[in-house]
Amino acid sequence: MVEEQLPPPIQDPLQARYDVQLVLGQTHGAIHHAVVNANIWLPIDPEGLTREDLEAAYWEVCQEFGVLQAALNTGSFDERLLAAGLGGAQGAAKRKGFFAKVKALCRQVGGSAADFLARMRPALGWSSTIVGSVASALQGEAKRFPGAATAAEAIQEFIELLLNASESSGTGDNGTPNGSVNAVDKRGRGKG
């Protein structure tokens, strides 16, 4: 009996670029969702990180998304995206995990801070994985598009900042971060 073998995954550099650009757009949206809802999950600590700190840093990172998208638009990095695991079966697996978690983050509204954090952390974790792969693909390519690799690294660092901030926002008995504002309303925004 001969086993049937699956065909090798399609390694289309142009499709890899399109897929990465779609993921970057949704990563930008997931980050925005986390930042505008920081009053739900970030503890109020006059000496610590504030929502305003996150918002100021977020606006800087928004520019990095533009730099990264512009670099990808050149097509100069398409083959390197494949080499970094952003096409074929690896890319498909990463996108499948990513899309499921971003969908859960953005579609479900209402609930406690603990619920929001439980949706936010995996979405940002998958975002970090993919942005890290993009950063890897752009390493050593400064001559082709200066600032592209640095932009990817800055985005990944901001995602890590959000993850670190969310890890340090322990939740109280009522499911809200210790010292934070209260739960999420039906529109997905923090109350208070």
Span 51-58, average pLDDT:
96
Tell me the one-letter amino acid at 57: A
- Whether 175 shows a pLDDT value over 60: the answer reads no
> How far is Cα 113 from Cα 182, in angstroms, rounded to an integer?
7
The whole-number average pLDDT for the span 58-63 is 96
Summarize the confidence of residues 119-138 as an average pLDDT: 95
Collapse the DSSP code of 111 into the 3-class scheme (helix H, G, I; strand E, B; otherwise coil) and give the result: strand
Tell me what the mean pLDDT of segment 33-43 comes to.
93
Determine the average pLDDT of the residues in 85-109. 91
